Amino acid sequence: MQYEVETIWPDLESGLDDIFGERRIEQKRYMTLYTHVYNHCINSIKSLVNPAILAPKSGRNSINDYRNGSLFSGSELYQRLKNYLERTVTEALQEGNEKHDEELFRFYVDKWKQFCFYFKVIDGIFDCLNKHLCEPGVEVNRDSKRVLFYVKTLLLRELDARFMQGVMDLIRQERDGQTIDRSFIRAVVEFYVDLGIDENSRSLERFYRQKFEKRFLGETENYYTTEADDFLQQNSFTEYMKKIEKRLNEEAERCNFYLHATTLQPLSQICETVFIQRKIELFQRDFGPLLEQERDDDLARIYQLCGRIEQGLEELKLALERHITRQGQNAIDEIAKKSPNDPREFMRGILEVHMRYKGLVSKSFRDEAGFKEALDKASSHFINKNAITKIAGNSSSKVPELIARYCDLLLRKSKDNIGEAEMEEQLQNVIAVFKYIEDKDVFQQFYTKMLSKRLIGGLSASDTAESQMISKLKQMCGIEYTNKLQRMFTDTELSKNITENFRKNCQEKDIALGLDFAIMVLGYSSWPSMPQLQMQMPLKLSETIEHFKNYYNTQHNGRKLSWIYSQSRGELSSTGFQKKYGFQAWTAQMAVLMLYNEAPKQALNLKEMMLQLNMPKDQLVPVVGSLLKNDLLKCGDVAAGTEVENEIADTAVFALNPNFQSKKIKVDLTRTQMRSEVKKEAEKDKQYIEEDRRLVTEACIVRIMKTRKRLAHNELISEVLQQLSTRFTPNVMKVRTSIEGLMERLFLKRAEDAMNVYEYIA
């Protein structure tokens, strides 16, 4: 049979005419056309591998040589098919020359859909040609050598500029607010993507991105550049931000509906550059005023928009830090004018500012790390350096003292005590402020002293709240910071058991104390230093003390008890006044009042009191002065309303005031503060803090050097400052002094080969 191209091509061409003419091809006819191609391909391959044909080539050529040259007989059929398709497609597309806009788009899209169907049928007929033959110079590849591929170049050539411009105009109309048939554009995009698929599947790189996306992005940039400038001339900045949000959402939705997914990133970048990057100074300019006006929603817009561009938030973070610092200082300025020593007002002012901007950072700025850092820096600045610290002579201890006093008011038993849930919230607020304190060791000193007074006096509103506060401090500063506080609680609980066991012991031995006695045994190293009183206790009290000493020594060998009378107190009942009163008094106050049980005419001079109590004058005068202030005693040598000075004569007579009256049956004498005692305690606290810092600094230096063994001077200073910064603000000169002291005590030495290097001495 004849399988030459001239023989089979007329029938194949007729079949192709039927396909493009949309005339039905029966299965038998289809198989006949397929058989033509199949037989031609098989015959061509057999002829190609015939030894007689290959012999003249002296063995140098192979099948691949024929595939790469003009001797490849299948190429003639291949070329005739290409010529036919080119001629037919060109004729079919001529109709589109007279069409415009949507009619043009519809024509090309419909033609492409028709061609896709035609080519699928043709591809089946010429399947054998696709499998075994190829265009000269191209290797065989079943998946890529489809007839459809060769038509695409022709279609691309037929698409002129007016087609692309029409698409751009349609998109512009939609951006202008007009309603369009979006399905047209989606079909066009799919059309461009499909046309670009080549033998290596580089569809987007080859055609969509180069021919469509590049043009589309350029048009987008031009459109929005003009719109941004025009809009700002007629509208406010806040309206401009809303416009940006709207446009960004529209473009994202547009990309999702009819553009290729990979276009979203460059499209968004174009919009961000035009709307935000080129107008960044407007965002920076209006950020401050919006903060002043508390326009949180607009601030959130600025954050979301500026966050889209690189370094877009940096200036805003600095502006926020400056604003919060200014607001905090202004708030404390007002407090300093009215009540600089009121811890409640101080905390209220700080919390109002901090909580306001903490909420802003959380809600509008989504807790972004940089904005949180700006809040922390600003809060640290205005909390530690403000008008109140200036009044205190720039004292670094004023802020920790006020916060510790606020804690004392919160945790102390009073009529204003709050519930557990509110207490937890208030304690959390305290910790929120506490973390910004630079001198946390000063807070520790004040807090420890106030806690000791609450525990000794039984003045805590709630043991649970006390434990919660210690737990929060532990989480913030570590176990070492709260170790003593925790041991204070332990001592308090143990003391309850000791008191109960002592009472049982007295009952077993039939010892009548004649009073209700409770003892607190406190560890010397755990509790803050307390002022000592030198005095002779009244007989009733001294007998009870001796009984307890004997009992305690039988329970604990080798332990020494030191009695802190300044912290001891009790209750007295009186019958010498118009009513029967109960007095709650410090031990020294009790001792003075009990002297009047035996005093002639219930009057004693100062010298007689000193002798009977064996108490120095400088300690006795404040005690007598507190009773005088509470109107229990009277003295002709002291003017009403004045303080009793140490210079008062020893012969000054203090008589019991029989006309004493009080609205309360139980009178608390412990509330009276002794001015000289408070002043002395403040001086001792300052000395204690300095000494404690010296010890902590030395311990830090030794710890570092023990680990590192050898360290340069600057590196050692840097590490010490870094480690101590969580406890207090270290002074470089004092760190150097501590280093020198440790060298004198042979903990460290200078390296022999370098004077600025230290070595640890094991």
Listed by start position, the domains of the chain span: 5-158, 160-255, 281-394, 420-555, 568-672, 678-760
**Percent helix, strand and coil across the chain, each rounded to 5?**
65, 5, 25
Say whether 678-760 and 160-255 share the same fold: no
Closest CA to 241 of 251, 252, 253, 232: 232
Residue 611 CA to residue 600 CA, distance in Å, equals 16
**Is residue 47 within 8 Å of 72, Cβ to Cβ?**
no
**Is residue 589 within 8 Å of 623, Cβ to Cβ?**
yes
User: In which region does residue 465 sit, left (phi positive, over 0), alpha (psi from -120 to 50) or beta (all else)?
Assistant: alpha
| Residue 665 phi, psi (nearest 5) | -75, -35
What is the predicted pLDDT for the residue at 149?
A: 56
**Is residue 102 within 8 Å of 163, Cβ to Cβ?**
no
Residue 252 CA to residue 268 CA, distance in Å, equals 8
Spans of the chain, pLDDT less than 50: 50-73, 134-145, 199-201, 203, 675-676
What is the predicted pLDDT for the residue at 302?
A: 96
Asked if the 678-760 domain carries CATH number 1.10.10.10, the reply is: yes
What is the predicted pLDDT for the residue at 55?
A: 38
Give this prediction's pTM. Answer: 0.75
Radius of gyration of the chain (CA): 48
- 572 - beta bridge partners? 583
Residue with tokens 């500063």: 477
What is the predicted pLDDT for the residue at 511?
A: 87
What is the predicted pLDDT for the residue at 518?
A: 87
Chain-centre distance for alpha carbon 199: 52
**What length is written for the chain?**
762
Closest CA to 88 of 191, 190, 194, 15: 15
Question: Which of the 8 DSSP states describes residue 566?
Answer: G
Give the fold, CATH level 3, of 568-672.
Ribosomal Protein S5; domain 2 (3.30.230)
What is the predicted pLDDT for the residue at 677?
A: 54
CATH level 2 (architecture), domain 281-394: Up-down Bundle (1.20)
Residue with tokens 């350096």: 385
Q: Which residues contact 320 (CB under 8 A, 6 or more apart)?
A: 287, 291, 357, 371, 374, 375, 378
Closest CA to 453 of 631, 629, 666, 673: 673
* C-alpha separations of 502 from 3, 268, 544, 608 in Å: 125, 81, 11, 35
What is the predicted pLDDT for the residue at 72?
A: 44
Strand, helix or coil for residue 292: helix
Pairing mode, if any, of strands 653-656 and 569-574? unpaired
Chain-centre distance for alpha carbon 134: 64
H helix or E strand, kind and range, residue 112? helix 101-125
H helix or E strand, kind and range, residue 749? strand 748-751
Evaluate the CA torsion angle 434, 462, 590, 546 in order and state its sign: negative
Strand, helix or coil for residue 524: coil
Q: And the tokens for 613? A: 């109590």
Amino acid at 599: A
What is the predicted pLDDT for the residue at 147?
A: 52
Q: And the tokens for 544? A: 């009870």
Give the fold, CATH level 3, of 5-158.
5 helical Cullin repeat like (1.20.1310)
| Pick among 3.40.1160.10, 3.40.30.10, 2.60.120.10, 1.20.1310.10: CATH of 160-255 | 1.20.1310.10
- 524 - beta bridge partners? none
Closest CA to 268 of 243, 241, 250: 250
- Beta carbons within 10 angstroms of residue 269's beta carbon: 14
Closest CA to 456 of 549, 392, 526, 368: 526
Q: And the tokens for 6? A: 């001239």
